[in-house]
Amino acid sequence: MAGYTRMGLSVALNTKNNAKADVRVAQDKEITKVQELTYELKVKDVMTTDVVTVSPKDTINDLREILRTRRIAGAPVVEGNQLVGIVSIEDLVKCLARGEMDASVEEKMTKKVETLYADEPVIHAVRKFDRYGFGRLPVIERDQGKLVGILTKGDIIEGLFKKLQIDYHEEEIHRYRASHIFEDIVADKTRLHFQYNIVGQDFNRAGEAASGLKKTLLRLGFHPQIVRRVAIATYEAEMNIVIFANGGQISASVQPEYIEIEASDAGPGIPDIEQAMQPGFSTAPEWVQELGFGAGMGLPNIQKCADKMDLTSQVGKGTDLKATIYIKERGN
């Protein structure tokens, strides 16, 4: 049963009786892998490069022929190499109804075109499709704005499946999965979540969480400068837990626009947060200072790296720290 996603699974379960437990493990792994892939894969990895285009001077009649023979539902309008508009089957139908088949594409096209950059991660495309409801998005090159491809939802799904090496030719499963996997990605699963358990007082292992998170984020294709800030903030938070508490948890929530790190422990708590935020202020015991830590730079460092920081603590209960680092999306 391994290799089936949750959606494909419902169909399979209706026809076969299989142990749910095995299957659940497989499906969770599969869904996580898909989520990760939407960050790893770039638009250029999944788009169609053989783009059918029309010219602004073509007529709507010409457009009809092109859409019919090439079996597509829309086309970008290009002049030279530049994208100047987009025209779809809806525009064609309107013209048919009004008898305007001799009008030029230029008159009827949508001039303000939503586009994708070839080097953007697929997750951006997914969210754009969700936001605008378009059937296709033209892909342009970042430097010159040259049209380099076109992307449909189907391309994304096919690209993901190919990468997962699932045999998607099983017609029945394919159709069912295809429609649901997209909704799932959009609905809830556009964020990734990583969790680490921190062992208190263990100086040998301290830093493993930060190091692991850094590797993962680099693999997912985030900008090295962003990753660096996340890594440093996480490392400092981790060291605080190791030095002062008896262990704790660090979690990283990765969204397309930001990464949020949460570090929590049931340690002694911080009596005066304002004081703790002063560079140089430290309550670390001397043996820690001899190890090179406890210089009082931890919290200020986190604040410097993060765009937003929230620190709450109760003496005797524990401490919770949230740090947010924004990822700049172009233009938005």
Partner 1 sequence: MTLEEVKEILKAEVITGADTLQMEVKMGCGCDLMSDVLAFIKSDSLLLTGLTNPQVVRTAEIADIAAICFVRGKKPDEETISLAKSKGLPLLMTHLPMFESCGRLYKNGLIGCSEYKE
Partner 2 sequence: MKLREIVKELGLEVRCAADNLDKQVSAGYASDLLSDVMANSKKDSIWVTLQIHQNVVAVASLKELAGIIIVNGREPEEEALRKAEEENIPIMLTKLPTFEIVGRLYKLGIPGTA
Residues that bind partner 2 (CB under 8 A): 279-280, 289-290, 292, 295
Quote the DSSP letter at residue 257.
S
Closest CA to 46 of 147, 140, 202, 152: 152
SS3 call for 2: coil
In the complex with partner 1, the residue whose CB is nearer, 220 or 297, is: 297
The correct pick among 135, 154, 268, 296 for binding partner 1 (CB under 8 A) is 296
CB of 217 to partner 1, least distance (A): 12
Angle at alpha carbon of residue 237, lines to 313 and 321, rounded to 5°:
35
Does 214 bind partner 1 (CB under 8 A)? Our answer is yes
Contact in structure between 299 and 237 (CB atoms under 8 Å): no
Residue 201: which region, alpha, beta or left (left: phi > 0; alpha: psi -120 to 50)? Answer: left
The pairing of beta strand 318-326 with beta strand 308-314: antiparallel
CB of 286 to partner 2, least distance (A): 9
State the number of binding residues for partner 1 (CB under 8 A): 28
In the complex with partner 2, the residue whose CB is nearer, 132 or 203, is: 203
Choices 31-39, 139-147, 179-187, 233-241 (CB under 8 A): range interacting with partner 1: 233-241
Whole-number Cα distances in Å, 27 to 33, 162, 236: 10, 17, 35
Does 268 bind partner 1 (CB under 8 A)? Our answer is no
Does 93 bind partner 1 (CB under 8 A)? Our answer is no
Does 204 bind partner 1 (CB under 8 A)? Our answer is yes
Give me the residues that bind partner 1 (CB under 8 A), please.
203-204, 206-208, 210-211, 214, 224, 228, 231-232, 235-236, 239, 279, 289, 291-298, 300-301, 304
